Amino acid sequence: MIRILTEEIFVDSVVLGDSFHPSNFAFICVYVGEITISVNNVSHQCDYGNLLLLSPNNLYKVESHTGNLKMFVLSFEREKLRSQINFKFNRYDVYQIAQMENRHTLEITDLEFDHLKQLLTLANYYSASDTDHKFKSEVLTGIVTSVIYIITSFLLINENSSQQKNLRKEDITISFLELISKHFKEKKELSFYAESLLISVKYLSNCVREITKSPPTSFIADALMNEAKIMLLHPNNTVGMIAGELGFSDQYSFGKFFKKHTGLSPMNFRKRNHLIDPIF
């Protein structure tokens, strides 16, 4: 359920320029040097004082790192962790945490970063320890719980009270995002999501734009693109097979959609990228 890696394991497993797709959620914490990782082809630099969130919903590529790199990667199965811990987050907080998947990086204060590093050092000790510690699993779960609360506090610190008042629109937005995660492959029209939520398309658009600052169609497109990229990097998947799996009428319409969002044809994207097996 919980795994922690150091830079030796990560760098040895991930070749520069190769793409990887994590099986679980993870945080990268760099405390010496820096590493640059692209998230869906957008570069993000991670060094002392900031964190990078890795999500199973995205595709990553290590572009560069310094020779003196020191870091921890904390990986965890979110649903299993959630079943063991009663996090004291309300639904709006959970939505803001989910939005971290789109922000990717998070800056925190030096003091909190140092505390975070100490927790990860402790987690690495218990994770790597060969001793038969009676409460090893419980200790690791407790450390990860603390890490999540520290990170969440920084995610929510800039939220103002006026946003908290839009409870109806927040609920609609969260429900919309949940529906997308379940139906994006076969349902691409906003009318389906509006009807499912018993509201008009216009009101759905207004709610999502007000809460997220992005149009609702962008979330559907992002879900499709992320899934398409992952599927394309598995050589046994033909473009026609992927088009059908993602609910496109034919290979041409899928190719047109893909090129619009990436600037590359599906085959060119496949030629330029190589997927390694997930290491966490």
Domain residue spans of the chain: 2-156, 164-271
pLDDT tens-digit profile of 194-242?
999 999 999 999 999 988 888 999 999 999 998 999 899 888 999 999 9
CATH topology of domain 164-271: Arc Repressor Mutant, subunit A (1.10.10)
pTM for the full predicted model: 0.74
CATH topology of domain 2-156: Jelly Rolls (2.60.120)
- Of 133, 155, 136, 134, the C-alpha closest to 144 is 136
State the Cα–Cα distance between residues 63 and 135, nearest whole angstrom.
39
Q: Grade residue 49 by pLDDT with cuts at 50, 70 and 90.
A: confident
Task: Report the chain's mean pLDDT, rounded to a whole number.
Answer: 85
Contact by Cβ (8 Å): 271, 235? no
Q: Which residues contact 136 (CB under 8 A, 6 or more apart)?
A: 126, 129
Contact present, 39 and 58 (Cβ < 8 Å): yes
Q: Kindly state the percentage of the chain with pLDDT values over 90.
A: 42
pLDDT digits (tens, 9 = 90+) for 237-264: 999 999 999 999 999 999 999 999 999 9
Residue type, 234: H
pLDDT of residue 152: 75
